[in-house]
Amino acid sequence: MQTFNQWSCALALALCVSGNAMAETDNILHPGQTVSASFAQAQQPIWTVQLKTGDLVQGRLQGDVSLRLLDAQGQPVRLLIDGRDQPREFIFIADRDGAYGLRAEALATRPQATYALSLKPVISASAQKRTAAPLQSPTLRALQQQLAQGASTETFWKDRQQQGAPMVEAVEGKPGLSLVTFLWRGARNNVRVFGAPSGNHDELQRLGDSDVWFRSYLLPASARLSYQMAPDVPASDDRRMILASTQRDPLNPNRFADGSGDPFLSRSRLELPAAPAQPWVAERPGIARGTLERKVLSSKLLGNERDVYLYRPAQWQAGAKGQGLLVLFDAHAYTRQVPTPTILDNLIAEGLIPPTAALIIANPSDLSRQQELPPNPQFARFMAEELMPWARQQGLAASAARTVVAGSSYGGLASAYMGLKHPELFGNVLSMSGSYWWGHEGEEPGWLTREYVKSPKQPLRFYLQSGLFEGPKILDTNRHLRDVLLAKGYAVEQVEYPAGHDYLQWRGSLPCGLISLIGKAAQAPEACQLR
């Protein structure tokens, strides 16, 4: 191993051989040291530092001068500080082993300037690796200690098989919060939570070199979400690759959207103990049930055809006063994941809403959904000139004040657009996680909100729901629309739940929205009271 003096001599010799004047004036700069000089001096020093590949170097230059990084031959590598700009901190990473030079350069406007140069301790490449965050879970901390003493994970996994997952633990001193830990056993390379509480598809961490993969979240004790796990996601920048391995959580017996029975198509369900009840989603014995009929509607305006599901409550009387009508987008979900006919049966049986029929509108294709549901004047014409007259011919109609147009995501956006364009048909907007970030290509987001700002107030009522786990793209734009509507004088009920962009939540929001808009809002049960 070279001594410091040997290294200094070797460096000086190398610089001398290069024929560069840097060798005659070099000075060793040690991390933590501050050096100074003046351009009034006859000869300017070049400060040298020995680095290894990947070293992270940080420093500060005080004075109205520039600072350039040089290689071992004294050739310029980059300008670290331009003395004409304000910043005086610099940072760079060594791309090779060896000597580097730091050369101060005078400004034409400050030819006699003085300066002081200092380096922080160099951080090696190995030291730059993130230190694992302390384990939040008491159970995992205990397991970590057991593994350090030579134990296996068998007992841990047996407990998980019995108790299920995700693992939910109390948080000391915070009764309104729970620590929720998602788990996976034995992945080779990585694991992701598809539909995590962060709103992203987060990566799990590995506990040492064990077969335990985990990720913990501090959540409100009333949280509700559905999710999938994705082990060994292919290495790719395309996030859709996560779908190659998404599946139900094998440790969670609670399922959602499980109609196919295929673990790769269905989801797992997490509902913490304080999550509001969803009392209207299950069929009840002894109540009158409505009928559901599927019909095909062709559109000359759109040049396509689609399924429309007609729900008629028991004892529906076409043309009777006081009845309601629900016009709902995305039939693929609102006849399956969200059991709309059952929800309506139960709400009507409890007297929470009047007898209410429904038009549940399917999308001809996934592409047509992207083209039709974001504000589309031609689709609005279809709704007003073709769908609603056709529905009246089927015996399904109600006054605008008793008609609710509803949907989630793009469907929520479409509902608010339909209310603005045709308040004579749709007097109530029920929007679940509406995509109010949407804007025309090349324009700033939030187009529909700006349209409401510009338009005169219409005879509309609103129920806006969004999830605290959806991130600012949904959450902030829903709040912005709320503020605009309130400023315009609209009647708005806006609610936020600890949930994501998720049909599991929307099957609870749909009935609460109907009660708020056309039902007995004053008698809304506790399930609709969370704010």
Q: Show the CA angle centred on residue 378, arms to residues 377 and 380, nearest 5°.
A: 65
User: What is the Cα–Cα distance from 432 to 340, expressed in whole angstroms?
Assistant: 14
User: What is the Cα–Cα distance from 502 to 470, expressed in whole angstroms?
Assistant: 9
Give the neighbor-by-neighbor strand order of the sheet with 177-185: 167-170, 177-185, 212-220, 205-206
CA 90 to chain centroid, in Å, comes to 34
What pLDDT, on a 0 to 100 scale, did the predictor assign at position 129? 66
CA 116 to chain centroid, in Å, comes to 46
Residues with Cβ within 8 Å of residue 411, at least 6 apart in sequence: 328, 329, 330, 373, 432, 434
Span 8-24, pLDDT tens digits? 333 333 333 333 444 44
Q: Quick one: 295-520 is in which CATH superfamily? A: Alpha/Beta hydrolase fold, catalytic domain (3.40.50.1820)
CA 386 to chain centroid, in Å, comes to 37
β-strands 89-93, 56-62: how paired? antiparallel
DSSP state of 454: H
Helix (H, G, I), strand (E, B) or coil at 371: helix
Q: Identify whether the C-beta of residue 345 lies closer than 8 Å to the C-beta of residue 289.
A: yes
Strand segments (E) across 108-166: 114-119
Residues with Cβ within 8 Å of residue 109, at least 6 apart in sequence: 64
Q: Which CATH class is domain 138-271?
A: mainly beta
User: What is the Cα–Cα distance from 339 to 259, expressed in whole angstroms?
Assistant: 12
Span 135-161, pLDDT tens digits? 999 999 999 999 999 999 999 999 999
Per-residue pLDDT of the chain (531 residues; tens, 9 = 90+): 333 333 333 333 333 333 344 444 458 888 888 999 998 877 889 999 999 999 999 999 999 999 999 999 999 999 999 988 878 899 999 999 999 999 999 998 888 899 999 999 998 888 876 666 789 999 999 999 999 999 999 999 999 999 999 999 999 999 999 999 999 999 999 999 999 999 889 999 999 999 999 999 999 999 999 999 999 998 776 777 888 889 999 999 999 987 778 888 899 999 999 999 999 999 999 999 999 999 999 999 999 999 999 999 998 999 999 999 999 999 999 999 999 999 999 999 999 999 999 999 999 998 999 999 999 999 999 999 999 999 999 999 999 999 999 999 999 999 999 999 999 999 999 999 999 999 999 999 999 999 999 999 999 999 999 999 999 999 999 999 999 999 999 999 999 999 999 999 999 999 999 999 999 988 888 889 754
Closest CA to 363 of 284, 431, 299, 432: 299
CB-CB neighbours of 120 under 10 Å: 14
| Structural domain spans, the chain | 4-128, 138-271, 295-520
- Taking the model in full, what pTM does it have? 0.79
Instruction: Estimate the crossing angle of helix 410-421 against helix 447-454, to 10 degrees.
Output: 20
What dotted CATH number matches 4-128?
Answer: 2.60.120.380
What pLDDT, on a 0 to 100 scale, did the predictor assign at position 131? 61
